Amino acid sequence: MSRLIVVVDELNKFAPSSGRETYTVRALRDIAARGRYQGLILFGAQQFRSRVDPQIIGNCSSSAYGHILMEELANPIYSPYPPAVREKMANCQQGQVMFRHPHFAQPVFVRFPRPAVMKGEDGVKHFPPKEHTAMDRLLARLKSAANLQPRDIIAAVNEAFPIEEDRERGIMALLGKLKGEDITAISKARLHKLLQECGGARKPVTTRTSRGVDELDDPFAEPEDRNGGNG
């Protein structure tokens, strides 16, 4: 037989201990009393258990208690619990609850494990967001360009400014030139031309070795290494 769980938040509002009997109260009473034989399970949550209909409370086989205020614990409904248990219920920490079930001779206190994910504030605290770079600003500025993809923009900037120290300066200059451009119609050719106008980029210094391979000039290399050998 399939099971259906009926979840009612603020149960004391829908089935109060004092008040006129409504269709909702009668339905919740029936689910609590005979629902198990029909595949129905009532799952109620409330802050004030003492204000829930007594018939529903009496038919609940399992109960879980979190932190409870002393004013609520003073209600006679909690009198079956020893003073030490009531005191511990009043001092439950976040994630700690007390379970009561007919199979347990004594109340059982358990603690839920930490969640597998971090809450928003904790995540930001442990992993602060990365500051936006000049490239991020450029990609955001050219987001509406129909003829440009992010990879095309990055490739064009890296080609125009191969040295990283020059790249940020060039991007900032390009952002200034884009203020008068129609971003939606800008093309690759236009982007390359604007990058050329932002020139001033230094080119990597290369040297030709005896083998005919272009390599970056190593300022720490020995003189014979720069000439391609000892000869």
The tokens describing 58, both together, are: 């009496």
Q: Per-residue pLDDT for 201 more than 50?
A: no
Average pLDDT over residues 159-185: 85
User: What helix, strand, coil percent values describe the chain, rounded to 5?
Assistant: 45, 15, 40
The tokens describing 32, both together, are: 């609590």
The tokens describing 53, both together, are: 């209909």
202 neighbors 167 (Cβ within 8 angstroms)? no
| CA atoms lying within 13 Å on the CB side of residue 83 | 0
Q: Closest Cα partner for 43 from 1, 99, 94, 4?
A: 4
**What confidence tier does 231 reach under pLDDT thresholds 50, 70, 90?**
very low
Write the pLDDT tens digit of every residue in 78-121: 988 899 999 999 998 888 999 988 888 888 999 888 777 777 77
Q: Per-residue pLDDT for 11 more than 80?
A: yes
Q: Please indicate, yes or no, whether the overall pTM of this predicted structure exceeds 0.75.
A: no
What pLDDT shows up at residue 146? 77
Alpha-carbon Rg for the chain in angstroms? 36
- Average model confidence (pLDDT) across the chain: 82
